[in-house]
Chain A
Amino acid sequence: MNIAQVFTQTLKQSGKKLVVLLPFSWLLVFFLIPFLIVLQISFSESRIAQPPFTDLTSFVDDVYTISLNLFNYIDLYEYDLYLSGYISSVKIAFTATTLCLLIGYPIAYAIAKLPPHTRNLALMLVILPSWTSFLIRIYAWIGILKQNGLINNALMGLGVIEQPLEILHTPIAVYIGIVYAYLPFMVLPIYTNLVKHDSSLLEAAADLGARPIGSFFKITLPLSVSGIVAGSMLVFIPSVGEFVIPELLGGPDTLMIGKLLWSEFFNARNWPGASAVAVVMLLLLILPITIFQRYQAKDLEEQANEH
């Protein structure tokens, strides 16, 4: 038995239990169990009381009954608002993710091509804006996009347009907001992937007569799929449930499910209804989240094997 084995053995015996148990139980109580409660409350009825929902279980005359009511889900199906809210959220998130990929990939590629010394500086410059407030960066776009905002003033001053363009309070403003806020999350995983590529592959392709464009599509792009998937999921999943961006930049007709959940909870004070909205949103996101986790796990394994 070598030292490392002895070390892990002792670790296993004494520290391991606590090391695993503490974070595990914290996440169990404050991350996993809350979802079960959301599921439970989505089957209850809204009422005007504290708390504003009914109990599912009752104990009357020695009979223990559990009543699940599906009205919250039937409501979701029957009101067009919710159905179209889900569809348009997915559409908006998908379009914004595609735009983010089209802008983020070239940036990640250009950074990976830089000499190693400047690479870290460029990467830091990409991340730095996300360390300032998200809310304030979205707010910045209101002044730029609104009717008498900077873009309209500039374009009208130059005589390009006569009427101000309507950008704020349209889906275009929401796209701009999502791309702006989430761009670093696209660039980072793609860069991490690209920078690991073995440049001798490209040299070999060039020796064999491939043109740079050809070897990009045949070698670099296929090798960077895992970075693309990770980045796209990091943008797509939170975008579907985004609240701040559609609230501040979108208009009344920019339906997004995060906004609907918010108003169901804070304005209508319908907690069971909001819970049902959340459960359906989560069901919608289970597939993307699983894909993200699978790639994340694969990536972690690769890292572990390298060392």
Chain B
Amino acid sequence: MSTNKTNKLSWAILLGGFAFLYLPIFILIVYSFNESRLVTVWAGFSTKWYGELFEDEQMMSAVWMSLKIAFLSASAAVALGTLAAIALVRSGAFKGKTLFTGMITAPLVMPEVITGLSLLLLFVTMSQVLGWPEGRGSLTIWIAHTTFNMAYVAVVVSARLRELDRRLEEAAMDLGANKFQVFIYITLPIVAPALLAGWLLAFTLSLDDLVIASFVSGPGSTTLPMVVFSSVRLGVSPKINALATLLVLAVAMAAFIAWWFMRRNELQRQKEIRSAFSQ
């Protein structure tokens, strides 16, 4: 096989793969502008489903509930997950480290029905024995989301911590910085992109969770995926397409901003390296 032929084959594979990944999303977006209620028959351009989406009070209050929980659980997960990553990478050996490592990687693959059921039973038992938490609602969803999200954050942040060149921290200490200063001025800026990536990942995972939230939620705490699911179960609805389009737009914008920042940082770094050499 010549290199040219191999190249063509790899491009064909990539194009096919991306078509598979993106066509369904593209179709979803196109039909959100469809006049007809029938999602598969095109009856002319319309934005009426977006209007109906914003008028749907149940949906809108679920959006706020989900955003609130996602924000709070992502923030808590970054705090706990970063501590866990430091414990994994920097603390050397300690009692129960194998158990600790296992508890961090297991949530990544654990089927959601098991996690959901087990947390629900925990909350029920706790409220019987300790009297806390009283009932279930956004607090219990927040605890559940923080728990599986901290595992994702720990994995992302520990990868970055391992890559960190420890000579930078040592150099700062040689120059008289104390432990706290080293952490604030050296370690934190270097791992900051991983913290941001971990936070965003946790935020989207929380926003997306249906199964675990269904188990641990109570009356009055309906999240967005729960509303979407009960609507989708009844069949396709263009309103869901409109919601999907807005979601894709938000993700695309966030991705673009992230890419732009990374690119700017990279260009800045190259400029600094060049000017350092020319001096």
Chain A residues packing against B (C-beta within 8 Å) = 2-4, 7-8, 10-12, 16, 18-20, 22-24, 26-35, 37-38, 41, 51, 103, 106-107, 109-111, 113-114, 122, 124-126, 128-129, 131-137, 139-144, 146, 148-150, 153, 180, 183, 211-213, 233-234, 237-238, 240-244, 247-248, 258, 261-262, 265-266, 271, 274-275, 278, 281-282, 285, 289, 292-293, 296-297, 300, 303-304, 307
Contacts and interface: CB of A to CB of B under 8 A. Distances in A.
B104 A133 contact: no
Given A26-B80, A303-B162, A238 B112 contact: yes
A135 B208 contact: yes
Interface in B185-236: 204, 207-208, 210-211, 214-215, 225, 228-229, 232-233, 236
B46 interface: no
Q: Is the interface of A mostly helix, strand, loop or mixed?
A: helix
A37 B122 contact: yes
18 contacts: A2-B170, A12-B92, A23-B83, A24-B84, A24-B100, A27-B103, A32-B99, A51-B124, A51-B128, A124-B255, A143-B31, A238-B112, A243-B113, A244-B211, A258-B113, A292-B105, A303-B159, A304-B162
Contacts of A7: 169-170, 173, 179, 182
A136 B147 CA distance: 24
B170 A4 contact: yes
Max count, chain B CB within 10 A of own CB: residue among A34, A143, A148:
A34
Contacts of B144: 30
Given A20-B94, A24-B100, A297-B101, A137 B25 contact: yes
Given A4-B170, A11-B179, A135 B114 contact: no
A105 to B, nearest CB: 10
10 smallest beta-carbon distances between A and B, as pairs = A241-B111, A34-B118, A110-B10, A23-B84, A140-B24, A34-B122, A237-B109, A27-B103, A107-B17, A30-B147
A190 to B, nearest CB: 13
B31 to A, nearest CB: 7
Max count, chain B CB within 10 A of own CB: residue among A132, A266, A289:
A132
Contacts of B60: none
B114 A296 contact: no
B125 interface: yes
B28 interface: yes
Contacts of A3: 170, 173-174
B96 to A, nearest CB: 7
Interface in B50-106: 80-81, 83-84, 86-87, 89-92, 94, 96, 99-106
B118 A10 contact: no
A242 B90 CA distance: 36
Given A27-B103, A183-B21, 18 more contacts: A19-B83, A27-B84, A27-B147, A106-B17, A107-B13, A107-B17, A128-B252, A132-B244, A136-B28, A137-B24, A140-B24, A143-B31, A144-B27, A180-B20, A234-B109, A258-B111, A258-B112, A293-B101
B251 A37 contact: no
Contacts of B233: 247-248
A131 B251 contact: yes
A172 B103 CA distance: 34
Contacts of B107: 31
Given A51-B124, A139-B240, A213-B1, A132 B248 contact: yes
A38 B173 CA distance: 49
Contacts of A297: 101
A24 B96 contact: yes
Given A128-B251, A129-B21, A212-B1, A38 B117 contact: yes
Nearest to B38: A148
B105 A293 contact: yes
